Chains A and B, each alone.
Chain A
Amino acid sequence: MNFSFSDEEKAFREEVREFLASALTPDMKRAQGLTPSVFSDKEISDPWHRALASKGWAAPGWPPEAGGPTWTPAQRWIFATECAKAGAPSVSPMGVAMVGPVIIRFGTPEQKAKYLPRILNCEDYWCQGYSEPGSGSDLASLKTRAVRDGDHYVINGTKIWTTHAHHANMMFALVRTDDTGRKQEGISFILIDMTSPGITIRPILTIGGDHEVNQVFFDDVRVPVENRIGEEGLGWTYGKYLLEFERGGGIAAARLRRGLQHVIDMANGEAPGQPIDDPALALKISEIEIDIDALELTELRIMSALQTGQNPGAVSSLLKLRNSEIKQAITRLAVDVLGYDALVWEPTRPLYGLNRATLPEIELPVVPEYLNSRAFTIFGGSSEVQRDIIAKLMVGL
């Protein structure tokens, strides 16, 4: 066991750095830096996704036969770390990181051939139709109905909190095809074309001032049966498999480090009164840095034990829990560093569209990001739900 890079790994790091130096434009970096929402806007993430795709690097977590690069865990770590350090946007996760692994594992050859290249090349933009108004933590109670009519399902109901439904042309959804047995048993996993007649979208504004999430209504929406993944009634299994990828299995630590660096840069630069000189701040920075170190090595330990593309299992709950809590600690510290500048509320979105700055640009996203980041411990299964999973599956209670 050792934690230093081989010559090949160093050469790979150089290659990543060179790629970033040419492909990541100053505009993309600025726009990403001024993004306070949970996900990058489509107009930022898509160009970056395409740049990665042209290099064959859009889906580091996929096995090579599906179009992923043949990277070792060390290479995946180097790539994630260098991208985060450079301030690259994140690729929309709903395609590459969520539905992709499900199609790879459970899709038919036709489904793989149809969807995987379109995900890799950023031709489809996906959204996730899991939650409903009455079914959040208790996801399995979902009620959106899919009734068989010849070679179609007819869908009625509503999904809520659907991130970027207003950008997406495809949705993967959990729908109820049977309500006679246990609630988990009558669920199916289907792929819905968002341009189908009968779909309407209501925007939901969140407390950071952004439009990320929506409510989606289905009124007799017809979806071909061939759009079902796997077997009818086994959607819960596929849906949970997907959640493991949503929650963890990547390298979240790299982005957290970038976030902490942003706090340090402000404290050492434009924030009022040179807060970096404050020993109390130094302690807090160290505390968070050590938390990130712990998460990072946990992620690496897990990744090293898995084959590329394999599902991480219950430990994904631990990664999600800590990632979300550390993220919130960073955004809280960032607000503290702002001092009185935290009082100024800039309502314009997107922030990168502003040319008259009310605050130093580095400070602009801080308060909205703090507010938006409250959602980290809610989506993808709340912290309370993750703790229940950890207690059950890791501790054995």
Chain B
Amino acid sequence: MDLTPTEEQRLLRESAGRFVRAQYNADARRKRAEAGEGFSAATWREFADLGWLALPLPEAHGGLGGGAVEVGMLMEAFGEGLVDSPYVSTVILGAGAVAAAGSSAQQADLLPKVAEGALRIAFAHSERQARYNLADVATHAVKDADGWVLDGAKTAVLDADEADLLIVSARIHGNRADAKGIGLFIAPRDAEGLTLTTDLRLGGGKVAQVGLAGVRLGADALLGGLEDALPVIEAVTDHAAAALCGEAVGMMQTLVETTAAYIKTREQFGKPLSVNQALRHRMADMAVAVEEARSLALRAALFADAEPVDRARAVSGAKAKIGRGARFVAEQAVQLHGGMGVTEELEIGAFLKRVVFFDAMFGGVDHHLKRHAALSAAGRAA
């Protein structure tokens, strides 16, 4: 066992940190927000040039073969600067599903384009009635002589508006919440019958509901020809949750630093706020929360390719505890800034919003505690 980063990992973390400090400092974020700019194509190309899009993709298809630990380092840097990019949707979820389940032809076709920055993929799996149950898929796919026909509705699809393709889950057979019988389909965003209702997303970016009304896809649209893709969906979702945990650590770090700097300079009662023990202890608890989060995010990354049960327990443990810790840190960052904390003039609120997004995405604290407990109970019974 060795938890010191390799030279390559150290360089990755440094270059990501440099990039974020240069391009995602408070001034730059403000200018972007004022210009109403979303994520720019130019920045995406830079991501490609820096090798970040290729990072976790297989080497056989233009990738660098990195793992969840490297992704976590990158995400932590993104979190520090509140970078809002379609990285998780395209690289971790979309390309991740293709890499995990695609046929070699599908991989050879799609993955190099993702690595080059020429293709964006959104992942359309969640359904409203399912809440966070990954097996609950009512959208169905029927096979006929020409291929597949998909009908149904998806919710919480990240960054679909700028994606070229969507990976859509649909039930091929069985009942709504059956574990078996779910397939993943490659659908062009402009497929006939596929409609997007796009909204602003809490904390930055876009989120869409996807309607599927008789969407016709070719016979080769089924990812890997797989009719039992739930294990793939679970794995890819866990990888994405682990990546978001890394991002949350970065956000928490920035919130603690920003708040510490604020209370050292803001004076009330003739002295800096930071001399008050109530606030010193609060900040101590916030700092403890960051370190625990850092450890659990790393733990989730280290278990990302372990046996599914171990992976799921590590990810759910991290998601639950970081969900709670990040909320605590962000809410207290607002509190310690007083009135300034609730204004749009500072960015504390923007971080809080992204933290709420983090907590809601892929299931909140309670969902992951329950999943952790259920997996543990099943392990004890076995």
Among A161, A340, A342, A377, contact of B128 (Cβ-Cβ < 8 Å): A340
A269 surroundings in chain B (CB, below 8 A) = none
Q: Which residues of B contact A (CB under 8 A)?
A: 126, 128-133, 155-156, 199-203, 207, 268-270, 276, 278-279, 327, 331, 334-335, 338-339, 341-345, 348-350, 352-353, 356-357, 360-361, 364-366, 369-370
Interface residues of A in 337-354 (CB under 8 A from B): 338-347
Known pairs A344-B207, A345-B201, A371-B352; A336 contacts B338 (CB<8 A): no
Interface string of A345-385 (1 = CB under 8 A from B): 11100000000001000000001001110110111001110
A346 surroundings in chain B (CB, below 8 A) = 199-200
Name, among B353, B356, B369, B370, the residue most crowded by chain A CB atoms within 10 Å (CB to CB). B356
Q: Which residue of B lies closest to A388 (CB)?
A: B278
Number of residues on chain A facing chain B (CB within 8 A): 48
B128 surroundings in chain A (CB, below 8 A) = 272-273, 340-341
Task: Say which one of A19-27, A116-124, A274-282 lies at the interface with B.
Answer: A274-282
Give A232 Cβ to nearest chain B Cβ, in Å.
25
A336 surroundings in chain B (CB, below 8 A) = 364-366
| Contact of A204 with B by CB under 8 A | yes
| Contact of A256 with B by CB under 8 A | no
Among B278, B334, B360, B369, contact of A374 (Cβ-Cβ < 8 Å): B334
| Contact of A298 with B by CB under 8 A | no
17 intermolecular pairs with C-beta atoms under 8 Å apart: A141-B268, A207-B350, A272-B155, A336-B366, A339-B131, A340-B128, A340-B156, A341-B128, A342-B356, A343-B202, A344-B200, A345-B199, A367-B202, A367-B356, A371-B342, A374-B342, A375-B339
Is the contact region of chain B dominated by helix, strand, or loop, or is it mixed?
A: helix
Known pairs A343-B361, A344-B202, A346-B199; A137 contacts B338 (CB<8 A): yes
Known pairs A136-B338, A345-B199, A387-B278; A273 contacts B366 (CB<8 A): no
B203 surroundings in chain A (CB, below 8 A) = 345
Give A352 Cβ to nearest chain B Cβ, in Å.
19
Known pairs A343-B360, A344-B199, A358-B199; A374 contacts B133 (CB<8 A): no
On whether the beta carbons of A345 and B343 are closer than 8 Å, the reply is no
Q: Which residue of B lies closest to A377 (CB)?
A: B335
Among B126, B201, B327, B349, contact of A344 (Cβ-Cβ < 8 Å): B201
Known pairs A280-B370, A340-B156; A137 contacts B268 (CB<8 A): yes
| Contact of A127 with B by CB under 8 A | no
On whether the beta carbons of A206 and B366 are closer than 8 Å, the reply is no
On whether the beta carbons of A273 and B131 are closer than 8 Å, the reply is yes
Known pairs A137-B268, A137-B269, A336-B366; A374 contacts B335 (CB<8 A): yes
A338 surroundings in chain B (CB, below 8 A) = 360
